[in-house]
Amino acid sequence: MTATGTPRVSVVCPTYNRSRAITRTIDSVRAQTVGDWELLVVSDGCDDDTEDWVARAAAEDPRVRLLRVARTGHPSGPRNAGLAAARGAYIAYLDHDDTWHPHHLRVALGLLETGAPSPPAASRHPQPVATIPAPVSTRPRATRRRCGGQGSACPRLAMDAPRAAP
């Protein structure tokens, strides 16, 4: 946590009915070599036991938080809800069926904090598949209007998910 008690990175993970599979995703965040994060798992109206598994992880690790939204049927709704609740200086999006290498946040933060103009998104693909654009506007209304997709300009510079689209 920073001196103000807020995490450096907020990881937003929308989910719908992933049950036990969500634990692999959560465990990959908990295994990060950078520990200054919060994980916001946003249930998109789950009707299986996914929320129970997230609640168990949250009971073990207070950096994990479960948020709930009414079913939207698209990850943009839960992503935006997670963004609204996020406290970190940086935002990272992680899909509920993805996992991160343990050094993912360390590498991404290193690039962002050293002023890299467009750090590459982490990927399991052998070739780069996407880059994270610099914010296109600092006006809160304009940036919030563009939020919703991976790599979109957000109020905070976004770190994209491992399986980013070009």
pLDDT in tens, 72-121: 999 899 999 999 999 999 999 999 999 999 999 999 999 888 887 654 55
Q: Regarding predicted confidence, which is higher, 143 or 25?
A: 25
% of the chain beyond a pLDDT of 70 = 68
Q: Is the pLDDT of residue 131 over 70?
A: no
Closest by CA to 61, choosing from 79, 83, 37, 80, is: 37
Q: What is the CA radius of gyration of the chain?
A: 15
Q: What is the pTM of this model?
A: 0.71
Which architecture does CATH list for 9-159?
Alpha-Beta Complex (3.90)
Residue 40 has pLDDT above 90, yes or no: yes
Question: Are 121 and 160 a contacting pair, CB within 8 Å?
Answer: yes
Asked whether the beta carbons of 112 and 156 are under 8 A apart, the reply is no
Question: Where exactly are the structural domains of the chain?
Answer: 9-159
> Would you say 88 and 10 are in contact if contact means Cβ atoms under 8 Å apart?
yes
Structural contact between residues 75 and 93, judged by C-beta atoms closer than 8 angstroms: no
| pLDDT of the residue at 141 | 44
**Residue 121's pLDDT is what?**
54
CB 162 within 8 A of CB 94: yes
Question: Does residue 154 surpass a pLDDT of 50?
Answer: no
Which pLDDT score is estimated for 133?
Answer: 52
Alpha helices (H) along 31-86? 50-60, 76-85
